[in-house]
Structure 1
Amino acid sequence: MKSYLFLLLAIFFEIVATTFLKKSEQFTQLKPSVITIVGYVLAFYFLSLTLRTIPVGVAYAIWSGVGIVLITFVGIIMFRQTPDLPAIIGLILITSGVIVINLFSKMAAH
C-alpha cells in the first residue's frame, strides 16, 4: 500500500511540475522554472520508490495515465483549454486502461 502512496505523490509532483512548466514560458520565468525542476525531481524520486514493489510497466502506465487525465483538468481550469471529442474519448480509454490494469492484471502489486 505504501508503494501506491509513493505513486500518488509522484503523480502529484508531476502535475505540479507540468503546470509550472507551462507557466515558466520556456524557462524564461525564474520561479515557475525552479518549481518545475523541483517538481520533476520529486516526481521521479517518488516514482523510483514505487518501482521497489510495483512492476515498471504497471507503475508507468498508472503514473502517465492518471497524470494525463489530471493535467487535462488543470488545463481546463487554469488555462481555459477545452478538449474536443477525440481528446475526451482518448481520456476515457486511458482511464479504462488504468482501471483494467489495476483490477485484472496479475502484474499489478496488490
Structure 2
Amino acid sequence: MSPLLLLGAAIVTEVIATTALKSSDGFQRIAPGALAVVGYCISFYLLSQVMKSIPTGVVYAIWSGLGIVLISIVGWLVHNQKLDWPAVAGMALIVIGVLVIQLFSKTAGH
C-alpha cells in the first residue's frame, strides 16, 4: 500500500483516538477510553510502516500538523470548542507547510 495512504490512515485514526480521549472524561467512560487506546495503537503501527519509506521528520511533520488541524476542526464540530482567528491563521500556515513539503521536498516520499 502507498506510504501516503498509510500516513493518511494514521492521521485519521489518531484524530479518532484523540476525539475519543476527550469523550472518555479522563478514562471515566470505558468505551471511549478503550477506543482511544486502540486508535493510538493502530495509528502508531501505521506510522511505523510509513517510516520505512519516508524520513521520520517529514512523516512526523505531516502527521502532527494535519492531526492538529483535523482535531481542532473535530473539537469545534463535536465538542463545541471555539477557534479564534489567530488559531485559524496558524492552522492555515500548518496546511501551507504540509503542502510545501509535499509539492517541493525531495524527501517527502512521492
- The structural deviation recorded for 1:104 is 0.8
Deviations along 1:19-62, whole A, 9 cap, x unmatched?
A: 00000111111101100000000000000000010111111111
Q: Which whole-Å CA distance do the structure 1 matches of 2:32 and 2:82 have between them?
A: 23
Aligned partner of residue 52 in structure 1, secondary structure: coil
Letter of the 1:92 partner, please give it.
A
Q: Could you list the runs of 4 or more consecutive aligned residues of structure 1 that deviate by over 6 angstroms after TM superposition? A: none
1:73 alignment partner in structure 2 = 73
RMSD of aligned Cα (Å): 0.9
TM-score normalised over the length of structure 2: 0.96
Letter of the 1:67 partner, please give it.
G
Unaligned runs of 5+ in 2: none
TM-score normalised over the length of structure 1: 0.96
Letter of the 2:103 partner, please give it.
L
Letter of the 1:47 partner, please give it.
L
Letter of the 1:66 partner, please give it.
L
Mapped pair 1:33 → 2:7: no
Q: Which whole-Å CA distance do the structure 2 matches of 1:32 and 1:44 have between them?
A: 18
